[in-house]
Structure 1
Amino acid sequence: MKDRARPPFFWGLVVMLGIELAAAATLAIVLLIDLVALEPTSIATALALTVLVVIAAGWMAATLVGLLRGQAWVRASAIVWQVLQFAIGLGALEGSFAQPAWGWPIIAVSVITFGLLFVPSVVKATQGRAGSGG
């Protein structure tokens, strides 16, 4: 991958996954601070949510590193994340605690990123394998 120029859509995907990583990491930090500074109604629920968001941030970080190395597995990882993120966005639009101001941007980012994952130049740029010197 070092000898080939990366296409613009590849860098678009890097930016989109970077935005998602920044959002997940920010949320993880906020939840960790809340866990320490506030008294949650349910400590078990607060811990579980915090752990899940920290895992998601780690997942996104690993995916972004893999993308920058041009590895093929990142497409599957990012597709799974986009589906989960889309579901989170839909959930934010519904129910008694609906937050459309959060839901629509989450859905938009998911759809754009999902589309970028299937652009032929991005697929070609991420065909490397873990053991291929990347």
Structure 2
Amino acid sequence: MSEAPKPRALLVLAGLIFLEAAAVAVAAISLVVEIVASTPSSYASAIALAALVALAAVLLAIVGVATVRARPWIRGAAICWQILQVLVAVSILQAQAPDVAWLLILPAAAIIILLFTRSVREATARPER
């Protein structure tokens, strides 16, 4: 049985989620390098932060794969991550670093918009019983 072609919006959504996963993975690697290269005030906190960021990268990659497969649960997971990302961006904006904040806000907004497009909603809808 042949599977129906995936909507372009769904593939763009998956691509953006994979890019976010890659960016978070780079952040995790940079945290590990920072732990090795300098002396953190608390090794336990530094290692825990690096582990959490690495876990977030893995989970985002899983969401990206599930997006390509048009799994219904990805909408909730993606929205949750985007809201967290926007909250971090607002915090960064308040710290007077608008360039970094906009790098977080723009992809989050694009993903949220894509999640609510008709083609993505239909592709990820739960099948009728």
Same fold (TM over 0.5): yes
Q: Which residue of 2 aligns with 1:117?
A: 115
Structure 2 residue runs of 5 or longer lacking an equivalent are none
Structure 1 residue runs of 5 or longer lacking an equivalent are 130-134
Structure 1 segments of 4+ aligned residues over 3 angstroms from their partners? none
Question: What is the TM-score of this pair, normalised by structure 2?
Answer: 0.89
Which residue identity does 2:122 align to in structure 1?
K
Distance 2:126 2:30 in 1: 36
What are the superposed Cα offsets for residues 52-103 of structure 1, whole Å, 9 maximum, x if unpaired? 20111011011011111111011111010000011111111113xx321100
Which residue identity does 1:112 align to in structure 2?
A
Which residue identity does 1:63 align to in structure 2?
V
Q: Establish whether residue 60 from structure 1 lines up as the match of residue 50 from structure 2.
A: no
8 Å CA contact 2:70–2:123 kept in 1: the answer is yes
Identity rate of aligned residues, in percent? 34
Question: What is the TM-score of this pair, normalised by structure 1?
Answer: 0.86
Distance 1:57 1:25 in 2: 5
8 Å CA contact 1:70–1:128 kept in 2: the answer is no
Superposition RMSD in Å: 1.5
Q: How many residues align?
A: 126
